[in-house]
Structure 1
């Protein structure tokens, strides 16, 4: 699957490890493609459960928006329809997790940001470290409609708006579990052991039974509009990418670097209030 994604078989459980630790496992085109290939391969095996996790200090820092990434400025180089189609492609990949024949667990630690939170939101069960930091949007308003419709189904409209409107707002893993975004939160030092035990416990149930149980629950949620709303997010984000404001922030990343661009965005707020809420 390539070095950006590690795939290991552990009896009835397959581990898929996002392996770009130097980028906090930010999602590149290669990583997304490798994940899609791994899911396709897993679907044809007798695996009982899949676990997606991140190597190093974080689960996933979202889509790669570093200055040398192809993601920065891509919207300015595409038509709105081309941009929407690209964003929908990501939704379709994560929908393959949702509809995967085997239950998929997200093991979340460290940062879980934007695209990383999008990925985890379409896994069947999300288990987080209590001190994980979850954000639906990056620390700069580079879009904003992509994830919030999906989060309405997980945490309700008010909390989805709060996370979407306030660039860089984050919640802990413990809060994420309290809100219902995650199934469970456990101490960070226990996360790996706890998830492995849970995955093997689930895998005791024969795979055909797990598949039918998953489909029954998913059908109920889909009737409530989950996947339609996820696609709506892609259309909203494509529109936002065409605004002068977002293009300004994209150029800021290119000229200043990501950290300095974030600092410049936050400077007036920090000067008046001395920190984030």
Structure 2
């Protein structure tokens, strides 16, 4: 792990780091905020997964999480959303696929499978680094995300309920197997057999028996992607059918941007802190 930058913030430390990822076959950048409590004790970890076209920096610069994370004693880890580098295959004219659009899965199709292994990177590689280099209590982890990252948070929690104590999402893609902006990506990363897509779709994971205690989801009513890409009512129906507690809050007039995310960030951090005690 190499330090890119570190700065004091709210009594804690905001850092940016790189690591050589075997899973992704390239250097990967990630951000970590450590609260002041980490100087004296191990602190719980909240993973934040960003959306399409983002990097680790979007939420770090615009998410407004540090003040309350410092108060609550939460470590916030912000990975990148895809592999990077000139040697990494890409579709540079397609913002919904390739670099900036890893969809938090391990690709199985050439040429993507050699680098696009974000599930392994985030669930295996980065936790080992966080445990080794930070005052992290890895027995207390939660996950949250925005848009594509909300999809990642929901699927990671459903597939790893023993690891994550809580899960929340801002405007998640709840059914990527049928959404306009994610279905083509799943086909390229995973191939034409749609049965293999099911473990990367929150609603279908629930239909297939995956369970998690409870979710918190915020969705703006003025979000331009609401009707064709996000469709939170599909998650609502899946959770109702499965008996999963879902707090779905439709936030009047909010769009898809970090103006929306930052407005409700405190609520989500408080949600996680209550479940990480």
**TM band (smaller chain):** 0.3 to 0.5
Q: Greater share of helix residues, 1 or 2?
A: 1
Q: TM-score, normalised by structure 2?
A: 0.38
Q: Which has the higher contact order (CA 8 A, sep 6+)?
A: 1
Q: Greater share of strand residues, 1 or 2?
A: 2
Q: TM-score, normalised by structure 1?
A: 0.38
